Amino acid sequence: MAKGDVLVVAGPSGSGKSTLLRCINLLISPDSGDIYLDGVKVNAPNIRPEWVRQQVGMVFQQFNLFAHLTALNNVTLGLRRALKMSRPEAEKKGRELLTRVGLGHKADAYPAELSGGQQQRVAIARAVAMDPKVVLFDEPTSALDPEFIKEVLDTITQLARDGMTMIVVSHEMSFARNVASRVVFMDDGVVLEEGTPEQVLVHPTHERTKTFVDKILE
């Protein structure tokens, strides 16, 4: 992947998309194959996984915001505890990011007081706060009520336009078509097809991809 690329990963459930993301930030160690970040092999014994995770943001399907912390503290926890940034500095950055995702006024709200869409936007701010080299999105909209999907996709799209490198597991095909620089189709742990959104989504060559895309577009 090149800097600024947006890779969308699609495929039926159980095809290994989430596992792939969790391997990339070493929440799971890969059985085989290697992961390179900036040319450094990161699944190596001499690399601290924390060091890798500080450079790889992650946004979860179920948001996973820290339930005991306000939106602002959710964003700043990593800055303060992992990057040892001072509190005023971290909070300044946190507020900027919350404003960027349109939630500057919700800085002091707890996750339970936010809608699903708002929670996911805070989660995006939390991932971006660490100035990661790449952000991983694990089906960021599939746990959301339909009314909140757009605000989250818009936030991700804006982030992509700003030049953030990202890998997005998603079934939002219009999003993939508009934002992705490349699309990967996975099934059963294997990449079946890879190319531009046009190639994979409009003119798929593989039978499995065709049926999947047809079903999703129905």
Give the binding site for other proteins (CB under 8 A).
25, 27, 49-51, 53-54, 56-58, 60, 62, 64-68, 77-78, 81-83, 110-113, 126-127, 130
Pick 15 or 25: Cβ nearer other proteins:
25
In whole angstroms, how close is the CB of 64 to other proteins at the nearest point?
A: 4
In whole angstroms, how close is the CB of 14 to other proteins at the nearest point?
A: 19
Distance CA 43, CA 125 (A): 26
Burial class of 106 by CB neighbour count within 10 A (0 to 12, 13 to 18, 19+): buried
In whole angstroms, how close is the CB of 62 to other proteins at the nearest point?
A: 6
Pick 167 or 192: Cβ nearer other proteins:
167
Pick 18 or 209: Cβ nearer other proteins:
18
In whole angstroms, how close is the CB of 153 to other proteins at the nearest point?
A: 21
Pick 15 or 18: Cβ nearer other proteins:
18
Pick 65 or 200: Cβ nearer other proteins:
65
In whole angstroms, how close is the CB of 72 to other proteins at the nearest point?
A: 14
